[in-house]
Each structure stands twice: as structure tokens, then as C-alpha cells.
Structure 1
Amino acid sequence: MIKLNTNLLSPFLRPGDYKLIAPQVRAVQQQLLARTCKGRKMLGWLDLPVRQTDQEIKKILDAAGHLAAKAPYLVIVGIGGSYLGGCSAIEFLQPEWEPRENRPTILFFGHHLSSAYSTELLKFLQDQDYCVCVISKSGSTVETGIAFRLLRRQMAKKYSAKEMRDRVLIITEPGDGSLRRFAETEHYTHQLDHPEDVGGRFSVLSTVGLLPMAVSGIDIHEVLQGAAAMRSICMKQTDLKTNIGLRYAAGRYLLYRKGRFIENLSLFDSSLQMIGEWWRQLFGESEGKNRRGVFPSTTMMTTDLHSMGQYLQQGRRMLFETFLRVQNQPDRLVVGKSPKNADNLNFLAGNRMERINRTAWEATALAHHEGGVPNMTVTIDRRSPDCLGRLFYLFEFSVAISGLLLRVNPFDQPGVQEYKNNMFAMLGDPKYAHLKAQVKKKLKKLYG
């Protein structure tokens, strides 16, 4: 179960505010479901929880089983939506310190351009037995391509050509993309499809996210069942009081119209950190267009109460806050009593750790509300595949609604090409040669 509590949006928002925009929200919902909205060609994510056949799921499970049995390490190569969903699911559901019996350790590569990280990872892998899963929708992503080149060069020194091909799984779009052409030319037999009608940041419930989950031992059937349950709520219910996806989107949109341009997602459990990163990409790329959109930021609580807490309490009132927490956590740790009470914390003796964390959330939500920060709370019932599937679908549906309310296309990302034009021109891509002199001149003027 996933619950949304919006009590602390009052008095910043009033019941009448929701009533005024309810017809607009329902109209956008109907456009989305009728596939008549902006970006209609990229709406495959809407049906991912129910459209994937048993045969398609079996292919994912078979590929995951092959990789898990082959080596103790799996390197997943990808960036953005190609790695964030799977990475966040593994962090959320897998105990951090427990060994995973008969499951490989999953490492990530190609999610940035750090030469130090790349060098250290490749050095570590020199003496390890490993497989590789390359995930790229287009097949031409710079970070992914470089990482795959580096891995192929190293693998060629460790394994025969046949053995190397048996250790590589490629997930990319069907058709004539660059990675697909490469896979066919080099005879890589282990291939899965990235859905053509699903953008990278909406791909967590497709092969892209399900394969890493399956390799780590997560029940992907249960993930999809949870997502399907949330899909039913979001698609069939039109009342903002009962449709959690519509209510979250409507609240965000109303706050945006009142000058709250930043949403801070406050994460009240360490297992939620990568979900926060996934959420940040999903909302940032979907809404940030045409000089519009809520800026998504995240804080890890209670850690960031000791860094960002001051700003959240007394800084500029241009933000609102969404708390994300898990209700039912292991509750075995009890704070003991100290004979000398040197830290003056004996008032906590006998309290369970989870109760203290829950109280910290309640106290923070109240303090920030009284400090002028409207906030709401999304509560996940427990760390389970079902709840995770529900959460993924909730956020995907909500950002689609809020993006359409902002009158932008939530399913494209035209702005990301701008830095690439400059970068490729400077690095010598022939297709951008006409821009090189112009970019160099601008940089010289800026930096000397």
C-alpha cells in the first residue's frame, strides 16, 4: 500500500483550490488515457505492468539466470533511466550487509565520466570473473559507449571471443540502432529489447529495470503486480480524493502556481536514496521545459537536517516538501540506558530506533510547516516488491499529469542536446565541425 497525506498543505492550499482545478486535472487524465496528449507516441509505460507477456517475462528471467550462474560479478553499463531504476530497486529491497547467496554482486559503470572511478573499477575487475549487461535505448550514449569499449578491451585479454560474447547481454531498441547493429555484426547472441514506445526515464518496469532486479533475486512478478494495482487506481478513478496519482500531481501544480518552484523530496530511510535519484531524473526531465517546471531536489533525513535543515526551516519560501518514508520497518533495536548519562540521552532509553526515526519525521514535518513550508507525506507500507512497483507507477503517472498541466510534453527531453552540441564540437565529432570555432570563441571569452 502507498498512502498520501496532504494535511500539512493547509493553509497554503485550501479545499476550494482543488475543486477549481479538478475539471482541468480530469481532462488531462482523459487525454493521457485516450492517448491524445502531447508525446502520445511514448506512452508505452502506461501499460507495462499488464502488457508484458509470460514469454517476455520468461526471457528476462532466463537471461538473468544465465548471468547469475555465469560469474560472481555483473557490471551493468548505462546512465540515467538505463541504470537508476534497477539500482534503486536493488538498494531498496536488498539488505545492505547480507551476502546474496547464489546471486552476483552488481556493479555499475558508464553512469558518469570519472576517469578515477573507471580506472579503479577496471583495476578491480582484472582479477575477477564477471559478466556485462549494456543498456542503452539509442545505443549512442557517450558514457555507455566509452564504458563498453573499455570493458571489451579488458575482457578480450581475459576471455576468448566466444566466451566474451557469452558473458555480454545487450538491451537496446529493436531495429537499426547503433548498438543493435554492433550486436548483430559482432554476433552477440544475448539480446533483449528496450521498448520503442517507452522513454528511458519511464523504463523501470520494462526489461531495463526488471533484468537487474531479477539478477539480484527480486520477484519481478510481484513488482509488476504492485504496479498493476496502482495503474488501476490511477487510470480508473477520477476523484482527486481517492486517486493518489491525481492528488499528488494536483497539489504540486497548485503550489507551483502559488510561487513554490522547488520540490524537496525528503527521504526518511537510507534505502530510499537511489529512489530519490530516480525520482529526480523522472521529474526534472519530464517537467523542465519552456521555462516551466518544478525543480526537483532531494535530502536524506535525518542526515541532512544537520546541513540543509537550517535552509529548509528559515530560508526563502519558494519551496515545498514531500516526505517519503517506510511505515513498517524492522523494529528490534532498543536504545539502552547509560549509568552515567554522560550524553544526557537517557530520556531515550527503552525507545526503539524506528520509533525515534518516525518521531523525527513527525517533528520535522511540523516544524517545517510552521516555518512556512507546505509539505505532504508519501508513506510506503513496507519494503516489498509489491510496494516498490506501486511507488514506481505512482510517480510516473503523477509526473505525466503534472507535466501536461504545465502544458509541456512530459515525454521528450530536447534540452539535453545543447551541451552535447558543444561537447561533440570540441572533441572533434565531424558532424559538429561547423560549431567548433564558434564554441571555442565563446569559451575563450568566458574563461580566457
Structure 2
Amino acid sequence: MLTFNQFFDKNAEIRHLAHPSKKAMDNVFEMITKEREAKKSGYYELPFEQKAIKDAQNYIQKNQNLLETIKNLVIIGIGGSSLGLKAIEGILCHLPSRKDIGLIFLEHTDPIEIQKSLFGLKMEDSLFCIISKSGTTIETSSLMKYVIKRYNLLKSAQSKAHLVCITDEDSPLHFLAKEHKIAVLTIAKNIGGRFSVLSSVGILPLMLLGYDVQKFLQGAAEFEKRFFERKEEHLLKKAIFLAKNRDRFPINILFSYSSAFRDFNAWYVQLWGESLGKLDIYGKKVGLTPIGLIGSIDQHSFLQLITQGLMDKTVTFISLNRAKYSEPKIPDMKLKYLESTDFVNGTSFAKLLNLQQIATMETIQTEGIPTDHIEIDELCEASAGRLIIYFELLTSCVGTIFNINSYDQPGVEFGKIRLREMF
């Protein structure tokens, strides 16, 4: 269960902007509905499909003997091919169903990081999962070549079994996998990487790790269904507020009060930044700048800037219902010279973190900074699915108001072309 609270109207100057007209909300809803029906992006369909689950089940059944020996799952991919999976793993890794399998991400061309990630790794007890829409992303293809050479993975049918690819239908990577008889799962071409975690990109690895992927998709499906039934109007209100105030509040902060959201923040930063930083249909540059923070750590690094720096930011808080986390507690211990800290003695760390979040939120609201709050009752597969689809839908709604294509990334492609020219 997720609870959404918006406090945009606590700022007297912008209170009237926090309540868009019914006509404005109807217009945005109509645009997003048409986009979904036109299948501009395939992510809308993913929560309701069973293709990814069936493909993963078939793969696991065919490779059951091998998978029983796997101790390490190595994900080779970058950006949308890895960030979504990392986000869900970070949120769910505490669950008892999580198998005792090491999860390693090869996503960086930093030579030090490559050596560190693969140190002591043996092919015999590892599965290398290559995730790329095309396979031609230079980081992914280079890292793939490296592990193939290092572990001699194309030597035989036995070694090839330690490889699996997830890619677009009829992509270069798909053709490569079929030619070498490497296991391959495909996704639709109209599903962008940063919107792909509900596809095989996320489903196969999550299933291999022991998570209930059916509940993951179910959580996303329930929220999306409610949104298109006009039962989650807060999302439309927020999208309109952020889009219409983009010049006044160009920076959007996600302040997550649990280290479990560290990788989720990184996924949000890519989703928001890469989707919304575009040229609109009139050739004007538009966009919103995402920042991900972790509470209470970043209260000591970024809060000063939020409260007394330029008033150009909105803040979304994410927190957990702390009632289920009564342990551990701060010892009722008095230490000479540290008497000023005794007021928290005997309190659970969960309660301390919760009160720190409330104090920070109220401090920010007092300064007139627009805020909203997402409270999660329990970290589980269903709530993770709801959280993913919420931010994807919010991104799409803002993109439609901006009159942009939220699903391409031409600016990134320019960099790729320049890199090729340099070589």
C-alpha cells in the first residue's frame, strides 16, 4: 500500500497553482490515454502481460540443472538495462525469499571497477546476463567481449550455457545469440530501456533471484488500472504543477528516507532527466533536473541548500511505515559530555529516522518550498511495482504537457556518434 500526500498549497504564493481546473486535468488525461492507445511506448502494457514471466519460466525450466549450481548472476548492461533491476533489488533484497546468489553489475568501463567486480569469479558457478536493446551500446558490447574472452564462453555448448541475452526482437544482439545458439529473451522494440524493468529486462533476473515477479507486475497493474479509471488524480495534479512551474521550480528532489532506495533514486534520476530534457515541438529546450537524496544522511550535506539557497526546487519525500521496525533501539546510555544527545535514548532507530524525516519536511515546508510525500506501508514486490509505474506514468504525463517525445534520447545519440568519430 502506498499513500500519497501533497502539500504544494502550503506555499501561499503558489496555492492557486496546486489545484488545476477540471478542464486542465481532463486535457492531460485525454492526451496520455491517446498516447497509450497509440502504443507510443510499450511500457503501458507490461503490467498486464504474461510474456516476460512465461519466457523466464521456459528459460529456467530448460536450464534447471545449470541454474541449481549458479552462485553468481552477472548483469552486463548500462543505464536503463541495469538501473531498474538495481532499484528493485535494493528495495527487496531484505526479503526471506531472496536466494543466496551474488548479484554483480558490469556497467562501467572503468578498468579498476571491472577487475574488482570479477575478482575471484569462476565461470562454472556464474551466469552472465547481457541486457541491451541492440547490443551495440559501446559499454555493453565491450564488456561482453571482455567476459567472453576472459572466460572463453564461446568455446563449447557447455560454456555458452553460462550466457543469456535479453534484447529487442531481431536486434544485432538477437542475431548474434541465435547464430551462436545462446539463450535469448526478447522485448518489444517500443519499450525504452529506462521504462523496461517490468519486461524481461527485470523479470528474468528477479525470478532467478527468488522474487515473486507475479506480485511485482500485479502491483504495477493495480495502480495503472486505478490511474486510467481516474482514481489516482493526485498524479495528474502533480504532473500539471511541475510542468506549468518548470521555470520557477526547475529542480525536482527525491528525498528517500531509507538506504534501500539508493539505487531507486539513481533510476529516478535517469528516468526523469533523460525523458524530459528535450526539444519540444517548437524547437525550444525544456526539461526538469532530478536530484536523488537519502535521509537522514543528506540532511547534513544538502538540506542547507534547500532551505536557504535559491527557491527553485520541489521536494518529494519517500518514507516507510516504521511501525514494523521496532528493533534495534538506541541504548539508554548516558555518556559524560554527550548529555545533549540523551533525549533519543531508548528510541528505536526506525522512530528516530521517521521523526528526522518529519522534522526535515516541516522545516522545508516552513520555507515555502513545494513538497509531497509518498509513504510505503511495506517493502514488498507489490509496493515496488506500484512505485515503478507511478514514476513512469508521472514522467509520461509531464512529457505530454511539454509537447515532447519522452521515449527517445537524441542528445545521448549525438555523444555516441562523436565517440565513434574520435576513434
TM-score normalized with structure 1 length: 0.86
TM-aligned CA deviation for residue 228 of structure 1: 0.8
After superposition, the Cα gap between the structure-2 partners of 1:310 and 1:165, relative to the gap in structure 1 and judged at 3 Å, is same
- Match of residue 282 from structure 2: none
- Match of residue 299 from structure 2: 305
- Match of residue 253 from structure 2: 264
Structure 1 counterpart SS, 2:408? coil
TM-aligned CA deviation for residue 178 of structure 1: 1.2
TM-aligned CA deviation for residue 128 of structure 1: 6.8
After superposition, the Cα gap between the structure-2 partners of 1:9 and 1:294, relative to the gap in structure 1 and judged at 3 Å, is farther
Aligned residues: 413
* Distance in 2 of aligned mates of 1:154 and 1:421: 28
Which of 100, 104, 129 is matched with 2:101 structurally? Answer: 104
Structure 2 counterpart SS, 1:224? helix
Is 1:283 aligned with 2:279?
A: no
Judge conservation of contact 1:223–1:385 (CA < 8 Å) in 2.
yes
Judge conservation of contact 2:20–2:237 (CA < 8 Å) in 1.
no
Note the residue ranges of structure 1 that are not aligned, 5 or more in a row: 428-448
Structure 2 counterpart SS, 1:198? coil
Which of 150, 164, 170 is matched with 2:165 structurally? Answer: 170
* Distance in 1 of aligned mates of 2:12 and 2:160: 58
Is 1:253 aligned with 2:243?
A: yes
For residue 258 of structure 2, what is the amino acid of its counterpart? Answer: D
* Distance in 1 of aligned mates of 2:13 and 2:80: 33
Judge conservation of contact 2:31–2:400 (CA < 8 Å) in 1.
no
TM-aligned CA deviation for residue 99 of structure 1: 10
Judge conservation of contact 1:93–1:384 (CA < 8 Å) in 2.
yes
Judge conservation of contact 1:234–1:246 (CA < 8 Å) in 2.
no
TM-aligned CA deviation for residue 28 of structure 1: 2.6
- Match of residue 27 from structure 1: 27
TM-aligned CA deviation for residue 254 of structure 1: 3.7
Judge conservation of contact 1:75–1:131 (CA < 8 Å) in 2.
yes
Structure 1 counterpart SS, 2:136? coil
Is 1:7 aligned with 2:13?
A: no
Structure 2 counterpart SS, 1:264? strand
* Distance in 2 of aligned mates of 1:4 and 1:231: 15
* Distance in 2 of aligned mates of 1:184 and 1:42: 28
- Match of residue 43 from structure 2: 45
- Match of residue 418 from structure 2: 422
- Match of residue 135 from structure 2: 139
* Distance in 2 of aligned mates of 1:210 and 1:13: 45
Is 1:330 aligned with 2:325?
A: yes
Which of 154, 167, 184 is matched with 1:191 structurally? Answer: 184
TM-score normalized with structure 2 length: 0.91
Judge conservation of contact 2:218–2:385 (CA < 8 Å) in 1.
yes
Is 1:207 aligned with 2:200?
A: yes
TM-aligned CA deviation for residue 171 of structure 1: 0.6
TM-aligned CA deviation for residue 211 of structure 1: 1.4
Structure 2 counterpart SS, 1:124? coil
For residue 191 of structure 2, what is the amino acid of its counterpart? Answer: V
Is 1:349 aligned with 2:345?
A: yes
TM-aligned CA deviation for residue 51 of structure 1: 2.4
Deviations, residues 179-198 of structure 1 (Å, cap 9, x unaligned)? 1111122121x111122221
**Percent sequence identity over matched residues?**
26
* Distance in 2 of aligned mates of 1:225 and 1:402: 24
TM-aligned CA deviation for residue 421 of structure 1: 1.9
Structure 2 counterpart SS, 1:138? coil
TM-aligned CA deviation for residue 127 of structure 1: 7.8
- Match of residue 243 from structure 1: 233
* Distance in 2 of aligned mates of 1:63 and 1:243: 40
TM-aligned CA deviation for residue 146 of structure 1: 0.7
TM-aligned CA deviation for residue 413 of structure 1: 1.1
* Distance in 2 of aligned mates of 1:372 and 1:112: 40
- Match of residue 83 from structure 1: 82
* Distance in 1 of aligned mates of 2:161 and 2:192: 28
After superposition, the Cα gap between the structure-2 partners of 1:59 and 1:355, relative to the gap in structure 1 and judged at 3 Å, is same
TM-aligned CA deviation for residue 209 of structure 1: 1.0
Is 1:61 aligned with 2:51?
A: no
Deviations, residues 277-330 of structure 1 (Å, cap 9, x unaligned)? 111111111110122111011111111111112111211111111111122442
- Match of residue 445 from structure 1: none
For residue 262 of structure 1, what is the amino acid of its counterpart? Answer: I
After superposition, the Cα gap between the structure-2 partners of 1:22 and 1:145, relative to the gap in structure 1 and judged at 3 Å, is farther
Deviations, residues 135-169 of structure 1 (Å, cap 9, x unaligned)? 10122111110110011011217x85211211111
After superposition, the Cα gap between the structure-2 partners of 1:394 and 1:326, relative to the gap in structure 1 and judged at 3 Å, is same
TM-aligned CA deviation for residue 62 of structure 1: 4.1
